[in-house]
Structure 1
Amino acid sequence: MSGKGKRLQDEGTRMQVVVAGGTAGLIARFIVAPLDVVKIRLQLQSHSLSDPLLFARRDLNGGPVYKGTLPTMRHILRHEGVTGLWKGNVPAELLYVCYGAAQFTAYRATSIALERFHEASGIAPKPHVDSFVAGASAGAAATAVTYPLDLLRTRFAAQGNGPDRVYTNLRSAVRDIARDEGIRGFFRGLGPALIQIAPYMGAFFACYEGLKPVTGQLAGQVGQSLGAGDAAAGVVAAVAAKTFVFPLDLVRKRIQVQGPTRNRYVHKNIPAYDGSVVRTLQTILRTEGMRGLYRGLTVSLMKAAPANAITMWTYERVLHILIRLDDDKKHTIQANL
Structure 2
Amino acid sequence: MGGLVGCQGSIRPLTFVVFVLQVRLQVQNVDKPLYRGTYHCFQSIIRQESMFGLYKGIGSPMMGLTFINAIVFGVQGNAMRYLGQDTPMNQFLAGAAAGAIQCVICCPMELAKTRMQMQGTGEKKSKRKLYKNSLDCLARIYKREGLLGVNRGMVTTLIRETPGFGVYFLAYDVLTRSIGCEPNDPFMIPKLLFAGGMSGIVSWLSTYPVDVIKSRLQADGVGGVYQYSSIADCVRQSVRREGLRVFTRGLTSTLLRAFPVNAATFATVTLVLMYARGAEEPKECESATPGGDRHTQLQQQTQASSL
Using structure 1 for the length normalisation, give the TM-score: 0.73
User: 15, 20, 30: which is aligned to 1:32?
Assistant: 15
Once residues 216 and 247 of structure 2 are traced to their aligned partners in structure 1, the CA distance between those partners, rounded to angstroms, is 11
SS across alignment from 1:299: helix
1:65 alignment counterpart: 34
The residue type equivalent to 2:273 in the other structure is: L
Q: Is 2:228 the counterpart of 1:273?
A: yes
The residue type equivalent to 1:159 in the other structure is: Q
User: 132, 155, 165: which is aligned to 1:201?
Assistant: 165
The residue type equivalent to 1:104 in the other structure is: F
Once residues 197 and 44 of structure 1 are traced to their aligned partners in structure 2, the CA distance between those partners, rounded to angstroms, is 20
TM-fit CA distance, 1:31: 4.0
Once residues 297 and 164 of structure 1 are traced to their aligned partners in structure 2, the CA distance between those partners, rounded to angstroms, is 31
Using structure 2 for the length normalisation, give the TM-score: 0.80
2:197 alignment counterpart: 235
User: 242, 246, 252: which is aligned to 1:298?
Assistant: 252
Once residues 53 and 159 of structure 2 are traced to their aligned partners in structure 1, the CA distance between those partners, rounded to angstroms, is 30
> For the structure 1 residues 33 and 262, does the alpha-carbon distance in structure 2 shift closer, same or farther, using more than 3 Å as the test?
farther
TM-fit CA distance, 1:94: 1.5
User: 203, 212, 221: which is aligned to 1:259?
Assistant: 221
User: 109, 127, 130: which is aligned to 2:78?
Assistant: 109
Once residues 258 and 104 of structure 1 are traced to their aligned partners in structure 2, the CA distance between those partners, rounded to angstroms, is 32
TM-fit CA distance, 1:188: 0.5
User: 22, 41, 46: which is aligned to 2:24?
Assistant: 41
Partners of 2:196 and 2:266 within 8 A in 1: yes
> For the structure 1 residues 285 and 314, does the alpha-carbon distance in structure 2 shift closer, same or farther, using more than 3 Å as the test?
same
Partners of 2:238 and 2:246 within 8 A in 1: yes
**Equivalent residues in 2 for 1:167-246 (5 A)?**
167-216=131-180, 221-224=185-188, 227-246=189-208
Once residues 224 and 253 of structure 2 are traced to their aligned partners in structure 1, the CA distance between those partners, rounded to angstroms, is 24
The residue type equivalent to 1:273 in the other structure is: Y
Instruction: Give the count of matched residue pairs.
Output: 269
Once residues 262 and 45 of structure 1 are traced to their aligned partners in structure 2, the CA distance between those partners, rounded to angstroms, is 17
Once residues 214 and 254 of structure 1 are traced to their aligned partners in structure 2, the CA distance between those partners, rounded to angstroms, is 38
* Residue segments in structure 2 that go unaligned for 5+ positions in a row: 1-7, 280-307
Partners of 2:71 and 2:98 within 8 A in 1: yes
Once residues 82 and 145 of structure 1 are traced to their aligned partners in structure 2, the CA distance between those partners, rounded to angstroms, is 28
Once residues 14 and 243 of structure 2 are traced to their aligned partners in structure 1, the CA distance between those partners, rounded to angstroms, is 33
TM-fit CA distance, 1:323: 4.5
Quick check: which has more Rg, 1 or 2? 1
Partners of 2:107 and 2:152 within 8 A in 1: no
TM-fit CA distance, 1:127: 1.1
1:249 alignment counterpart: 211
Partners of 2:57 and 2:133 within 8 A in 1: no
* Residue segments in structure 1 that go unaligned for 5+ positions in a row: 1-23, 48-53, 55-59, 116-124, 264-270, 326-337
**Equivalent residues in 2 for 1:133-148 (5 A)?**
133-148=93-108
- CA root-mean-square deviation: 2.6
Once residues 215 and 164 of structure 1 are traced to their aligned partners in structure 2, the CA distance between those partners, rounded to angstroms, is 54
The residue type equivalent to 1:42 in the other structure is: L
Q: Is 2:129 the counterpart of 1:165?
A: yes
After the TM superposition, which of the residue ranges 170-179 and 282-291 deviates more from structure 2?
170-179
Partners of 1:216 and 1:230 within 8 A in 2: no
Once residues 13 and 98 of structure 2 are traced to their aligned partners in structure 1, the CA distance between those partners, rounded to angstroms, is 22
> For the structure 1 residues 324 and 163, does the alpha-carbon distance in structure 2 shift closer, same or farther, using more than 3 Å as the test?
farther
> For the structure 1 residues 29 and 142, does the alpha-carbon distance in structure 2 shift closer, same or farther, using more than 3 Å as the test?
farther
**Equivalent residues in 2 for 1:282-297 (5 A)?**
282-297=236-251
Deviation sequence 1:5-39 (CA, Å, 0-9, x none): xxxxxxxxxxxxxxxxxxx954x444410111100
TM-fit CA distance, 1:258: 2.3
Once residues 111 and 40 of structure 1 are traced to their aligned partners in structure 2, the CA distance between those partners, rounded to angstroms, is 34
Partners of 1:95 and 1:150 within 8 A in 2: no
SS across alignment from 1:67: coil
The residue type equivalent to 2:243 in the other structure is: G
Once residues 244 and 33 of structure 1 are traced to their aligned partners in structure 2, the CA distance between those partners, rounded to angstroms, is 21
Once residues 153 and 302 of structure 1 are traced to their aligned partners in structure 2, the CA distance between those partners, rounded to angstroms, is 19
